Amino acid sequence: MAKRDYYEVLGVSRTASADEIKKSYRRLAMKHHPDRNKDDATAEAKFKEAKEAYDVLSNSDKRATYDRFGHDGLRAGAGGGPGGGFSAEGFGDIFGDVFGDIFGGGRQRGSQVFRGADLGYELKLDLEDAVSGDTVTIDVPTQVSCDKCNGSGAKPGTEPVQCSTCGGAGQVRMQQGFFSIQQTCPACKGVGTTIGDPCDKCHGRGRVRKTKTLSVKVPAGVDDGDRIRLSGEGEAGRNGGPPGDLYVEIRVRPHKLFTRDGADLACEVPISMATATLGGEVELPTLDGHVSLKIPGGTQSGKVFRLRGKGVTTVRDARKGDLFARVAVETPVNLSAEQKELLEKFEESIRSGGEKHSPRADGWLDTVKRFFDRISP
């Protein structure tokens, strides 16, 4: 019986890339595997056919021969055919190539190294220090390479030996029917070596716990939630692996006067009833010093004044923000009898006058009157 075209078997074009061929074979292998189709007598034949096609098209030399001469060219070549027939062992190899990324990676040789873990540190700053920048010293508990065994984990004068279980690969292959699955070696935990005589300081781990003192340069304009990365200042790697990184996360303490929104600052300015009514000037604090804020007469509580360029500069923008000052008119408290009498006279004079001196109150009363007129039967 004539063999089907290998490209047709895998369902790919003749210009398909290696990744496309691999992806198609993976799908067909899982679909037609005999262990998954025990009631289908044709599954094994389809599975063998897909394997044979992949064996040829995944090999650049065989594929070139096949593209030029077809099946006859492969039979004329050395080895007598594309795959030499089907076997569980052959599938185990191809399975490791195709599905290795699912079950822990392809075949490896030599002991494995492991990158150290990244660490995090929360650095609390006052608003002034966050805005102007600072250099801060921090203490970070971490895992560092053992100085007695130089990180090998073995007693000085000895060396780790190749793991006898995995032969130094760090992984072992388990055969289950047609499937061959790679797993981390249980003896060496993936390192590829074992230690017969461990270091008495680190007890074979190659790392010891230590508190490192680091100097952190905080750039001007950092904000709450910003992170500073210190490369290589995380935990030491295992088996000679590189260290991780340290991420310093900025936390800005609440300020007594200002709140911050990016490059802008905001504050509340209490003023007296007399200043709000007659107008005047108040001293307003900024991060650069005091400024004078002019209050016009008749200023209502809650009015916001904008002072341009009195905010902060962020690490992402050279433009300086603004300061928004919200005035709060304070009601006098602890008045004497004389002061209360004066206020009563003032209130009486306001009411007896013909002009409206409370525009917001008058407008509100008009709105209330219209509301009740609308709902009255």
Write the CATH number for 28: 1.10.287.110
pLDDT for 109: 44
Q: Is the pLDDT of residue 91 over 50?
A: no
pLDDT for 174: 76
pLDDT bin (cut points 50, 70, 90) of residue 319 is confident
Please indicate, yes or no, whether residues 181 and 304 belong to a single structural domain of this protein: no
Region of residue 375 (phi > 0: left; psi between -120 and 50: alpha; otherwise: beta):
alpha
- 104 in a structural domain: no
For the segment 41-68, what is each residue's pLDDT rounded down to a tens digit?
Answer: 888 888 889 999 999 999 988 888 888 8
Please indicate, yes or no, whether residues 33 and 80 belong to a single structural domain of this protein: yes
- 154 in a structural domain: yes
Q: Is the pLDDT of residue 226 over 80?
A: yes
Please indicate, yes or no, whether residues 173 and 267 belong to a single structural domain of this protein: no
Please indicate, yes or no, whether residues 241 and 317 belong to a single structural domain of this protein: no
Contact criterion met (CB below 8 Å) for 316 and 332: no
Bridge partners for 251 per DSSP = 124
Please indicate, yes or no, whether residues 149 and 226 belong to a single structural domain of this protein: yes
Domain boundary among 252, 272, 307: 252
pLDDT bin (cut points 50, 70, 90) of residue 282 is very high
Secondary structure letter of residue 35 according to DSSP: G
Helix, strand, coil in percent for the chain, rounding step 5: 30, 25, 45
Secondary structure letter of residue 143 according to DSSP: E
**Residue 264, SS3 per DSSP:** strand
Those residues with Cβ within 8 angstroms of residue 370's Cβ, 6 or more apart along the chain or in another chain: none
Print the domain residue range for 353.
337-375
- Rounded to whole angstroms, how far apart are CA atoms 171 and 166? 6
For the segment 233-258, what is each residue's pLDDT rounded down to a tens digit?
Answer: 999 887 777 899 999 999 999 999 99
Please indicate, yes or no, whether residues 293 and 245 belong to a single structural domain of this protein: no
In this prediction, residues 363-373 reach a mean pLDDT of 67
What CATH number is given to the structural domain containing 315?
2.60.260.20
Structure tokens at 365: 């009363």
pLDDT for 215: 94
Please indicate, yes or no, whether residues 204 and 274 belong to a single structural domain of this protein: no
Q: Is the pLDDT of residue 13 over 80?
A: yes
Q: Is the pLDDT of residue 217 over 60?
A: yes
- 284 in a structural domain: yes
Please indicate, yes or no, whether residues 123 and 246 belong to a single structural domain of this protein: yes
- 22 in a structural domain: yes
Domain boundary among 204, 220, 252: 252
pLDDT bin (cut points 50, 70, 90) of residue 26 is confident
pLDDT for 172: 85
pLDDT for 41: 82
For the segment 113-151, what is each residue's pLDDT rounded down to a tens digit?
Answer: 778 899 999 999 999 999 999 999 999 999 898 989 988
Please indicate, yes or no, whether residues 242 and 134 belong to a single structural domain of this protein: yes
Please indicate, yes or no, whether residues 318 and 347 belong to a single structural domain of this protein: no
pLDDT for 363: 65
Number of domains in the chain: 4
- 168 in a structural domain: yes
pLDDT for 136: 94
pLDDT for 69: 80
Give the dihedral sign, CA 41/43/48/49: positive
Please indicate, yes or no, whether residues 174 and 273 belong to a single structural domain of this protein: no
Those residues with Cβ within 8 angstroms of residue 329's Cβ, 6 or more apart along the chain or in another chain: 270, 271, 272, 273, 276, 299, 300, 301
- 275 in a structural domain: yes
- Rounded to whole angstroms, how far apart are CA atoms 267 and 261? 11
What is the average pLDDT value for the chain, to the nearest integer?
83
Q: Is the pLDDT of residue 289 over 70?
A: yes
Domain boundary among 228, 252, 276: 252
